[in-house]
Amino acid sequence: MSPTTPTPPMIGSASAGDPYLPTSGNGGYTVDHYDLDLDYRVSTNRLTATATITGRAITALSRFSLDLAGLSVDKVTVAGRAPTRVMHTARKLLVTPAEPLVAGESFEVVVRYRGAPHPVRSHWGEVGWEELTDGVLVAGQPNGAPSWFPCNDHPSDKATFRIQVTCEAPYTVVSNGPVVAKNTRSGRTTWSFEVREPMAAYLASVQIGRYRRHDLTAAPVAHSLFFPPALARQVAVDFARLGDMISVFSDAFGPYPFPAYSVVVTADDLEIPLEAHGLGVFGKNHVDGAHGSDRLIAHELAHQWFGNSLTLTRWADIWLHEGFACYAEWIWAEAAGGPTAHQNALLHRVDLDKEPKNLAVGDPGPRAMFDDRVYKRGALALHAVRQALGDETFFTALRAYTRTHRHGSVTTDDLLGCFRAASGSRAADKIIARWIDAKSLPQLQAAPPLPATP
């Protein structure tokens, strides 16, 4: 091929190249914005929807793909034109545009689709759009987003969103971002939400139920509770400390990263609570009117910083989400007058010593991504760094980490860079290597962390 011959366009990879989820995500382009218009009937679980996706080609592309599972596609256009070919497999929508995309070119894809959305099967159970007894829950982590909209389903490709949901008027819809419009016509209500911060597709969520709304104090950030009326007393007690939690974490980690925070309590039992961008979702079994779930409430709130604003670049670094959220539980327990973070660290170090020493939590493998050892060893690694650096340096580094990488994608080395800058040393590198990269279980220092300098 001569130097003047144009490079032929490539076929975009139908994978983001992440070995933990090799069939998820797509190569050759990045998404800037999703505009989702969903018309849903709760009574029959029928969805009719249009997704308008604004993307940008990274390289010249003759074909690209989107993740979409379990729904039927009626029509696709690229830049307003019908593609040369559209093929929909079990998990992929493969699109050959009428004209190849040029490297650096912005393009718009419109997908009209419909069906009865349902979760997708994975190593970690069924994830995605799920019917409740009377409503809907969306739990997208790690690969459930394609169960309800076409997307580039990898956390490293973050985009802004507009999500519009129309359903029967007796139901309340909760989604990501603030409500920017709401109107009711002929017994159906349309809710419109906007997410102006870049968000990973798996963190997009829709919650539908017969919920009552209660808005709490706006200091330090507005937060709202959505719950079945029958659980009003228990919810009022259990989430009464939410504002204090936000204050404690804002002091420790830096300002809360989003305009508001909402909590949804479903009328169904849930196996575990879950986080989404600007949301925490709990089952009725997680409220008892006696603060029995404070640890879980703190955990899901902490994910707004670690996981939702700062999102891992590759799934192998899941400890950057779960280790921080677990350590936040211990920070809150101490602030609330319970065990200190150091006491919790010593306790969990003893428990971990009873577990197999066959997992490097810095690369646990896809089946062990959500193993409890990833959570606890990640938290212990952070505590060990805190012991070595002292409170002032440790929390200065964390605030720099959340500020520098706000709404971005992160790696373990990004965190280490903030520890190096704050401490002027590589002490944290060695500690993280022992706790995160190695399988053997290190000892903790007996003494608690040094107090912060006044």
Q: What is the mean pLDDT of residues 328-334?
A: 98
How many other C-beta atoms lie within 10 A of the C-beta of residue 225?
Answer: 21
Q: Are 38 and 206 in contact (CB under 8 A)?
A: yes
Task: Say yes or no to pLDDT of 5 above 90.
Answer: no
- b/e per residue 12-44 (b: at least 16 CB within 10 A): bebbbebebbeebbbbbbebbebbbbbbbebee
Give me the phi and psi of 85, to 5 degrees please. -155, 140
Supply the pLDDT for residue 11: 84
Q: How far apart are CA 220 and CA 298, in angstroms?
A: 16
Task: Say yes or no to pLDDT of 132 above 80.
Answer: yes
Least confident residue range of 215-229, 259-273, 332-346, 410-424: 215-229
Q: How far apart are CA 152 and CA 23, in angstroms?
A: 11
Task: Say yes or no to pLDDT of 454 above 70.
Answer: no
Task: Say yes or no to pLDDT of 453 above 60.
Answer: no
CA atoms within 13 A on the CB side of 434: 14
Structure tokens at 225: 């509770």
Q: Are 423 and 398 in contact (CB under 8 A)?
A: no
Least confident residue range of 7-11, 53-57, 236-240: 7-11
Supply the pLDDT for residue 238: 97
Task: Say yes or no to pLDDT of 142 above 60.
Answer: yes
Q: How far apart are CA 211 and CA 230, in angstroms?
A: 10
What is the band of 12 on the pLDDT scale with cuts at 50, 70, 90?
Answer: confident
Determine the straight-line distance between the first and last CA of the chain, rounded to whole angstroms.
Answer: 68
- b/e per residue 352-372 (b: at least 16 CB within 10 A): beeeeeebbbbbbebebbbbe
Give DSSP secondary structure letters for 150-170: -B---TTS-EEEEEEEEEETT
Burial category of 180 from C-beta neighbours within 10 Å (exposed 0-12, middle 13-18, buried 19 and up): exposed
Longest dimension (CA), the chain: 75
- Verify cis geometry, omega within 30 degrees of 0, for the bond prior to 100: no
Q: What is the mean pLDDT of residues 170-193?
A: 98
> Does 385 or 453 have the greater pLDDT score?
385
Please give the share of the chain, as a percent, with pLDDT higher than 70: 97
Supply the pLDDT for residue 128: 97
Give me the phi and psi of 71, to 5 degrees please. -125, 155
Please give the share of the chain, as a percent, with pLDDT higher than 90: 93
Architecture of domain 9-118+142-204: Sandwich (2.60)
Task: Say yes or no to pLDDT of 7 above 80.
Answer: no
Supply the pLDDT for residue 124: 87
CATH assignment of 312-437, given 3.20.20.20, 1.10.390.10, 3.40.30.10, 1.10.10.10?
1.10.390.10
What is the band of 220 on the pLDDT scale with cuts at 50, 70, 90?
Answer: confident
Q: Are 17 and 27 in contact (CB under 8 A)?
A: yes
Per domain, the residue ranges of the chain are 9-118+142-204, 211-304, 312-437
Q: Are 167 and 208 in contact (CB under 8 A)?
A: yes
Task: Say yes or no to pLDDT of 400 above 80.
Answer: yes
Residue 12: strand, helix, or coil:
coil
What is the band of 446 on the pLDDT scale with cuts at 50, 70, 90?
Answer: confident
Q: Are 341 and 331 in contact (CB under 8 A)?
A: yes
Q: How far apart are CA 432 and CA 23, in angstroms?
A: 30
* Parallel, antiparallel or unpaired: strands 311-312 and 409-410: parallel
Task: Say yes or no to pLDDT of 1 above 50.
Answer: no
Q: What is the pLDDT of residues 78-131, one digit of tens each?
A: 999 999 999 999 999 999 999 999 999 999 999 999 999 999 988 888 999 999
Structure tokens at 173: 């819809």
Looking at every residue in the chain, the average pLDDT score rounds to: 95
Q: What is the mean pLDDT of residues 386-398?
A: 98
Comparing CA positions, the residue from 266, 201, 263 lying closest to residue 230 is 266
Give me the phi and psi of 358, to 5 degrees please. -125, 20
Architecture of domain 211-304: 2-Layer Sandwich (3.30)
CA atoms within 13 A on the CB side of 142: 28
